[in-house]
Chains A and B, each alone.
Chain A
Amino acid sequence: MSHEAHPQVGHVVPLSTLFAVLGTLLVMTFVTVAVSWFDFGRFNLWIALGIAVFKASLVLLFFMHLKYDKPMNAIVIIISMALVMLFIAITLTDTAQYEPERIPGYAPSIKTNPK
């Protein structure tokens, strides 16, 4: 039967694409471990996060078919990630502001803290 008879078949991702993605992911994993041996100061975290975001995007786009999917599904994921970032950004801004008011090392029930 023709393609219309298989309404279920969405986009079939070519094997070459899948393997290319895996290859990139493995390389990036190696890179992220490798850069952790060097010190880039305050950029360490952002480099690590940048690589993680790049890897995550590859998984989302190709393994999870978002590239070929209805845009709504991508919007759902983008909104959820944006909300997480909003939550972290605001909470972090606030806690960083009031951190000086907290008593350093305060934890009376923790017996193992250095004196």
Chain B
Amino acid sequence: MLSSFIGTGPGFWLPRQGSTTAAGVDYLFNAVTAISIFFFVLITVVLLYFVWKYRARPGHEAKASAVHNQKLEITWTVIPLMIVVWIFWEGFTGFLNLQMPPENAYEVQVLGQKWKWLFTYPNGVVDDNLHVPPDEPIRLVMTSQDVIHSLYVPDFRIKRDAVPGRYEREWFQAEEPGEYQIFCAEYCGTSHSAMLSKVIVHRSRAEFEKWLADAGNFLDKLPPEKLWEGGQKLYNQRGCKQCHSVDGVAGIGPTFKGIWGHKQALKDGSQATVDENYVRESILNPQAKIVAGFEPVMPTYQGRLKDKEITAIIAYLKTLE
């Protein structure tokens, strides 16, 4: 118990170590914790001892003693100084390790948006979880579509802001297959705390490759009557879900439940029937027809959804009676 408290083992402080760099970070965290505990105990013990020894009581009086002592002052200036210089140096060199991805790293594009992460692989596959092979350096090239987000994987000890208008990089190398939590660490609004994803570390490079290939053509594998399932997946993955519910409750955008084939009142006073053309236009050019009572805030999906994918989403909408 005590050993875990002062940080020599996992448990009380810090989560499991999932990446190659985690141990180095933990070493410094534990060292600083140990230094802190040493000084804290020192200060507290001296404080309590003095308070007890020199407590006011009948017959006790303050006794004059030196009011300054150059040597003492220099001692307690120089010793902390040397300690913090050491901490700085360790923190700095450790940071360089965290910053510089190896040359041969596998690259995944990351897009943050309210309120989900999208990971794009070299073959164009987009997924809302980060799938990676084990024991291989992964470089993330990150940006954001709206406000600042921050991709944080506690088990890997990595975190980096995704800033709109710019590409940020971070990297890691996972050690053990399994699932690791991704948080958004920069406050981004209503569903900030629900902007959760997973890092899925596959058991081998081969398994990862297979997943990637399957993910690339999952719509092609579906029979036409199952196309709506593909649409449902896209609905969940591509950011529809964040604003359009399927349970009849209006969110930032209108709900999808029961709108197929019905007329919608538009902001400009006209009406539109929800059919193939309307849905296609609303996805590719969202500002064209705004449903009354909602703000024109939806980004365009032009170039981000393939034609077949829009067809799948339409198939899914038809199922939402």
Contacts and interface: CB of A to CB of B under 8 A. Distances in A.
A102 B168 CA distance: 9
Interface string B154-171: 000000000011111000
A98 B165 CA distance: 12
A107 B164 CA distance: 10
Contacts of B166: 98, 101-103, 106
Contacts of A101: 166-168
Contacts of B143: 103
Interface string A68-97: 000000000000000000000000000000
Interface string B25-45: 000000000000000000000
Interface in B162-215: 164-168
B105 to A, nearest CB: 17
A107 B165 CA distance: 8
Chain A contact patch, size range: under 10
For B164, B165, B167, B168, the residue with the greatest tally of chain A CB atoms inside 10 Å of its CB is: B165
A101 B166 CA distance: 6
Contacts of B168: 101
14 contacts: A98-B166, A101-B166, A101-B167, A101-B168, A102-B165, A102-B166, A103-B143, A103-B165, A103-B166, A103-B167, A106-B164, A106-B165, A106-B166, A107-B165
A102 B165 CA distance: 6
Given A102-B165, A103-B166, A106-B165, 11 more contacts: A98-B166, A101-B166, A101-B167, A101-B168, A102-B166, A103-B143, A103-B165, A103-B167, A106-B164, A106-B166, A107-B165
A101 B168 CA distance: 7
A103 B163 CA distance: 11
Interface string B232-254: 00000000000000000000000
A106 B164 CA distance: 9
Interface in A29-84: none
* Nearest 5 pairs of A and B residues by beta carbon: A106-B165, A102-B166, A101-B166, A101-B167, A103-B165
B69 to A, nearest CB: 32
Interface in A4-21: none
A101 B160 CA distance: 14
Nearest to A98: B166
Interface in B123-170: 143, 164-168
Contacts of B164: 106
A101 B165 CA distance: 9
Nearest to B299: A108
A46 to B, nearest CB: 30
B99 to A, nearest CB: 13
Contacts of B167: 101, 103
A106 B167 CA distance: 11
Contacts of B165: 102-103, 106-107
Nearest to A105: B165
A107 B166 CA distance: 11
